[in-house]
Amino acid sequence: MTPAARISAAIEVLQDIIERRRPAADALKDWGLSRRFAGSKDRAAIASLVYDALRRKASSGYAMASEEPRGLVLGMLAGLRALPLDEIAALFSGENHAPAPLTADETALLSAFSDEGAPDWVRADVPEWLWPSFQGGFGEMAIAEGQALAARAPIDLRVNRLKAGRDAVLADLAHHQPEPGAWSPDALRFQPGHDGRGPSLQTEPGFFAGAFEIQDEGSQLVTLLAGARPGQTVIDLCAGAGGKTLALAALMANRGSLYATDLDSRRLAPLHDRVARSGASIVEVRIPRSRGHEPLADVAGQADLVLVDAPCTGSGTWRRNPDAKWRVRPGALAERIKDQAEVLVRAAKLVKPGGRIAYITCSMLPEENDEAIRAFLGRQAGCTPVAPIDVLKGAESDFSLLARFATEFGLQLSPRRTGTDGFFLACLKRGD
């Protein structure tokens, strides 16, 4: 496919996403299945165009005076990809499956492309209904935080301490030009290319050997700061596919007991193979038999650390899932807040006196972070917050610079602040 034909395809996929309010991945998959002529490079390029357009949906729509897919793609090409007008016009020639030629209005808007005068939520590319919450969390820096969330994300990996060292993995992947992570001692970073794509790390021999896992540096960092130590009893209460479980096993040096569970047993399915590949020998996966079943009842009150990777809106991952921010609705936020309250109560029953609960979200919204902790402390006797500065002091490395990002109860990471996905961590201690 020509570059122009790929743009036409991206406009078609966006139309499907917007009309049917469906995940971008589903729309892209269906498009590819019905267009067998499109090769893997074509599909990847079209996906990159679609996701880039969704990153800047609000600001592009404002600048182009249109929320139609064509206008969003034009705005993305001018704004995010910074293509000059003549190059955009050449792509929109109307020939050989290219989109129709630019209109006079489109040419004028592209020539004067700007979001000047737009509402703050538009400039930040944050959903309008979420803007008061987002602004409440970041104040005068909210627009800059939103714009950072609308940028492309790098690819990070976590070196598996159980099998490799960072220098060795750095050398093995030198052909992909990795950079050491800025915060996590186990992180390597790969910048996206011009088309937004990064290297295919999951085809590397080191991945199959368990030397590393794909994991955002922010996710690595909050797991490290949770405070797991060798020899402890640790529970990963919302383990999902197990990214943080595997990181915990490495931090514990395969000494102690590590339990992984999730209310949705289907999410645990990939964990078994990942554990085997990683060499983590202390992980015990507990599968709930039903919604009300507690698979960890036999270790209640015994855990040194309960890590709660709480269900949330995922606003901190909008760089990687830009379609998700335009699909989230107030009802979903309310449901996640309810889930967070329930899982914190559950964690309090599992942690031992003197033990710690590490509450983590991949959210940028105060309702899911500080406000969730405040509400829990108001309901739950016997738990007290651990000051963020004390969380940092207890870490294995010097993370004192992160104290700048302390909130009332925890630490808020973000693309603008730390170059990572948006993660929140708060630690609580159960009284002796």
Catalytic residues: 362
3 state DSSP class of 214: strand
Q: What is the CA radius of gyration of the chain?
A: 23
30 assigned ligand-binding residue:
no
Q: H or E segment at 430? A: strand 424-430
Strand partners, 236: 260, 307
**285: which residues sit within 8 A by CB, 6+ positions away?**
239, 259, 260, 261, 268, 271, 272, 275
Location of structure tokens 């002091």: 393
For residue 36, the Cα-to-chain-centroid distance in whole angstroms is 31
Q: Give the amino acid at 191.
A: Q
Which sign, positive or negative, has the C-alpha torsion 156, 162, 164, 165?
A: positive
Q: Is 262 annotated as a binding residue?
A: yes
Separation CA 74–CA 7 (nearest Å): 10
Supply 44's token pair: 């990847």
Tokens of 107: 């040419």
The answer for residues whose C-beta is within 8 angstroms of residue 406's C-beta and 6 or more apart is: 388, 389
Q: DSSP readout, 14-59?
A: HHHHHHHT--HHHHHHHHHHH-TT--HHHHHHHHHHHHHHHHTHHH
Task: Give the C-alpha separation, 185 to 165, whole Å.
Answer: 10
Write down the residue that tokens 């193979």 correspond to.
273
Report whether 234 contacts 265 (CB < 8 A): no
Q: Each residue of 14-32: b (16+ CB within 10 Å) or e? A: bebbbeeeeebeebbeebb
Annotated binding site for S-adenosyl-L-methionine: 262, 309
